[in-house]
Structures are given as structure tokens and as C-alpha cells.
Amino acid sequence: MTKLTIYHIPVCPFCQRLEILLSLKGRQNDVRFQVIDITQPRPAWLLEKTRGTTALPVLETADGHIIKESLVIMEYLEAIFPERSVAQRDPYWTPTSTQKAFV
């Protein structure tokens, strides 16, 4: 099975939250982390995948779909790796719901 890929910057807290989530789920080995060089402009191949978005992390599914925004990626990871459950069960407290509530 082709793995999910997360394009990331290791020192970035938005990227680290994904590593922490996967670690809590014991799923680190189900995702390939590809480091993007923070000292260089984003490569053209990555900008093509993200349609110009430069912010990382970005997740690429096995069939090439792109998911941006760490909170959205966390919800996706929670959905595809339900065990062990880490997210709140009450939808009010799920990341995007909480984000919407405070916008």
C-alpha cells in the first residue's frame, strides 16, 4: 500500500502536532514524512500540488489528493486511523468546529 505523505518542516509546530497525533495513535510508520527545505523557496513540484499554497504541513493521500491546514489534516488522520481515538467526541470540540466558533 502506498503511504500517505506529509510535506513538512521539522521545527514547525503546526507540523509537529501531526507527528504527536500519529505518535499517540501508534501510526508513525503509516505516514511518510518528507522534509521541505525551509531555507529555499518552495519547489515548483510542491506548489503545483498545493496550487500555490506555501504553508506547511500539507498531506498527500495515496491517490494524490491534497489536504492543507494542520487542523483539517488532524481531522482526516483521526477519521482514517480511528484507533486509538484522540479527538474529542463532542463535535463542538473538534478542531474545525472550534476554529469556526472563534472566528
Ligand X SMILES: N[C@@H](CCC(=O)N[C@@H](CS)C(=O)NCC(=O)O)C(=O)O
As annotated, the active-site residues are 12
d(CA 6, CA 15): 9
Closer residue to ligand X, CB minimum distance, 1 or 44: 44
Whose Cβ is closer to ligand X: residue 2's or residue 20's?
20
* Cell output for 42: 518552495
In whole angstroms, give the CA distance from residue 79 to residue 95.
Answer: 13
The SS3 of residue 66 is strand
Count of positions on this chain that bind ligand X (CB under 6 A): 10
Is 56 a binding residue for ligand X by CB under 6 A? The answer is yes
Count other C-beta atoms under 10 Å from residue 27's C-beta: 16
34, 54, 85, 88: which one contacts ligand X (CB under 6 A)?
A: 54
Residue 55 binding ligand X, by CB under 6 A: yes
Cα(67)–Cα(92) distance, integer angstroms: 22
Nearer to ligand X, 1 or 51 (CB): 51
Residue 75 near ligand X by CB under 6 A: no
Question: Contact residues for ligand X (CB under 6 A)?
Answer: 9, 12, 14, 54-57, 69-71
